[in-house]
Amino acid sequence: MRILVVGKGGREHALVRALSESPGNPELFCFPGSDAIFETAKPVDADGLESLVAWMKSNAIDLCVAGEESYLVKGVGLANLCAKEGIPCWGPPKESAQLEASKEFAKEFLLRNGIPTARATATATKDEAVAAIAGEYPTVLKFDGLAAGKGVAVCPDETSALDFLDEVFTQQRFGPGRVLVEQCLTGPEVSIFAAIVDDGYLVFTPARDYKRALDGDAGPNTGGMGAVASRRLISEDLLKQIDLEIVGPTVSSLAKDGLPYRGFLYFGLMLTPDGPKVIEYNCRFGDPECQAVMPLVTGDLAGFCLAGAKGELEPDLISFDDGWSVCVILASAGYPESSRSGDVIRGLETEGDFRVYHAGTRKNAEGAWETNGGRVLAVVAGAPERAEAVEKAHQAAAGIDFDGSQRRSDIGRLHFE
């Protein structure tokens, strides 16, 4: 089997490694990829979506796996182009990927289908937004488009709300677009991943990510400084409730609303005192949750994704380890405000009972690994019990270093003890 994975980060490194461990020795390719990914998957010579899909066609690719969301909504859409060429794609077409690309589209979908979520009003101007907030603080403001994780502001007061509205409407920081004014929910968050094949689905291991830069959930929001995954992250009863009230209704509503879906769907949930509610959908696996979840998946992930992309849900092809997995991110100096590249990474040669996925690295002229971006590495360890997985992951992360390296010391600990 010949598989092409689209993306270049830590999530895609984890996906490529998991696919490569599937039986049958699949041949792997990656676009645009990274030096680390190219140790497992071959690079592809393409300069855009159209040429990528033409390359897949002429190189007899059996399966395209969409790691990163941007390609799903770019131009005609990755899955749409694959469909035209008859290439099975694990990732939804552009019309369904609006669930991630447009917060307003997602909110209308949720409300129309009675899926639990926060109340919200779509607004087109600063005045409309201020009227919709109606003096109720804290409030949540969401730019209606892809904004690289920076389009959401939880505003404790009027000053912070007006600042964000200025950024969006006056400075047009994210380009033109509307703003959703949303009720502020409270409670712990959990990330649920479903592999959806038309009207069927399989829920993967639940995870939680740590979005703030510093220990104790302090500091600015980041792409994610770590994650913890386990079937036991939430109780069986809660997982059943989420399945019954959220995942099942989402999948049947996609089918009812004529939104075709084959691929991973990520449910960002808040466990509020009134029950679990959807705060966002993403049409892909989470990053860094993917790095924590993939080591828990055993079996034939490649066969599972290929069957799914062809319309057959084959849950028996994979199974999930019952233990815990903890992922600690090493980020570069200045992250998330800025990032520094070119710092040589020390300690990568050490081997042990852990995995290291590369998020932002490159090989320098001497052949040494150096930093190349904000989030640099994801160090992942597993164990039957959480405490042991936490110890192993933090210890392994401490063995790797580069100038200006930052990491949190409470990943897998905070929100449990």
* Smallest separation (angstroms) from ligand GLY to the CB of 333: 22
Burial class (CB within 10 angstroms; exposed 0-12, middle 13-18, buried 19+) of 322: exposed
Per-residue CA distances from 411 to 79, 197, 209, 365, 401 (Å): 35, 33, 9, 34, 18
Q: Which is nearer to ligand GLY, 282 or 371 (CB)?
A: 282
* Smallest separation (angstroms) from ligand AMP to the CB of 259: 19
Please give the residue ranges that form the binding site for ligand GLY (CB under 6 A): 209, 224, 282, 286-287, 289
Q: Which is nearer to ligand AMP, 180 or 297 (CB)?
A: 180
Question: Please, what is the Cα angle at 177 between 49 and 66, to 5 degrees?
Answer: 25
* Smallest separation (angstroms) from ligand GLY to the CB of 365: 33
Q: Which does 289 bind (CB under 5 to 8 A by kind): ligand GLY, ligand AMP, none?
A: ligand GLY
Q: Which does 282 bind (CB under 5 to 8 A by kind): ligand AMP, ligand GLY, none?
A: ligand GLY
Q: Which is nearer to ligand GLY, 7 or 286 (CB)?
A: 286
Peptide bond preceding 188 in cis form (omega within 30 of 0)? no
| Closest residue by Cα to residue 213 from 9, 375, 22 | 375
* Smallest separation (angstroms) from ligand AMP to the CB of 314: 30
Q: Which is nearer to ligand AMP, 81 or 185 (CB)?
A: 185
Q: Which does 121 bind (CB under 5 to 8 A by kind): ligand GLY, ligand AMP, none?
A: none
* 216 Rama class: left (phi>0) / alpha (psi -120 to 50) / beta: left
Burial class (CB within 10 angstroms; exposed 0-12, middle 13-18, buried 19+) of 6: buried
CA dihedral in degrees (39, 41, 44, 48; nearest 10)? -110
Q: Which does 300 bind (CB under 5 to 8 A by kind): ligand AMP, ligand GLY, none?
A: none
Q: Which does 348 bind (CB under 5 to 8 A by kind): ligand GLY, ligand AMP, none?
A: none
* 151 Rama class: left (phi>0) / alpha (psi -120 to 50) / beta: alpha
Q: What six digits make up the tokens of 185?
A: 């929910």
Q: Which is nearer to ligand GLY, 224 or 276 (CB)?
A: 224
* Helix-strand-coil split of the chain, %, nearest 5: 30, 30, 40
Q: Which is nearer to ligand AMP, 133 or 279 (CB)?
A: 279
Q: Which does 276 bind (CB under 5 to 8 A by kind): ligand AMP, ligand GLY, none?
A: none
Q: Which does 286 bind (CB under 5 to 8 A by kind): ligand AMP, ligand GLY, none?
A: ligand GLY
* Smallest separation (angstroms) from ligand AMP to the CB of 288: 14
d(CA 183, CA 274): 13
200, 254 Cβ separation under 8 angstroms: no
Please give the residue ranges that form the binding site for ligand AMP (CB under 6 A): 118, 140, 142, 152, 154, 182-185, 189, 211, 268, 279-280
Q: What six digits make up the tokens of 412?
A: 């897998």
* Smallest separation (angstroms) from ligand GLY to the CB of 347: 25
Q: Which does 287 bind (CB under 5 to 8 A by kind): ligand GLY, ligand AMP, none?
A: ligand GLY
* Smallest separation (angstroms) from ligand GLY to the CB of 87: 25
d(CA 228, CA 291): 9
Q: What six digits make up the tokens of 54?
A: 């033409």
* Smallest separation (angstroms) from ligand GLY to the CB of 289: 5
Q: Which does 325 bind (CB under 5 to 8 A by kind): ligand AMP, ligand GLY, none?
A: none
Nearest-CB residue for ligand GLY? 286
Single-letter code of the amino acid located at 183: Q
Q: What six digits make up the tokens of 331?
A: 């980020």
d(CA 42, CA 319): 27
* Smallest separation (angstroms) from ligand GLY to the CB of 199: 25
Q: Which is nearer to ligand GLY, 117 or 282 (CB)?
A: 282
Q: Which is nearer to ligand AMP, 289 or 314 (CB)?
A: 289
Place of tokens 């609303």: 257
* Smallest separation (angstroms) from ligand GLY to the CB of 135: 31
Measured in degrees and rounded to the nearest 5, phi and psi for residue 228 equal: -135, 140
Q: Which does 314 bind (CB under 5 to 8 A by kind): ligand GLY, ligand AMP, none?
A: none
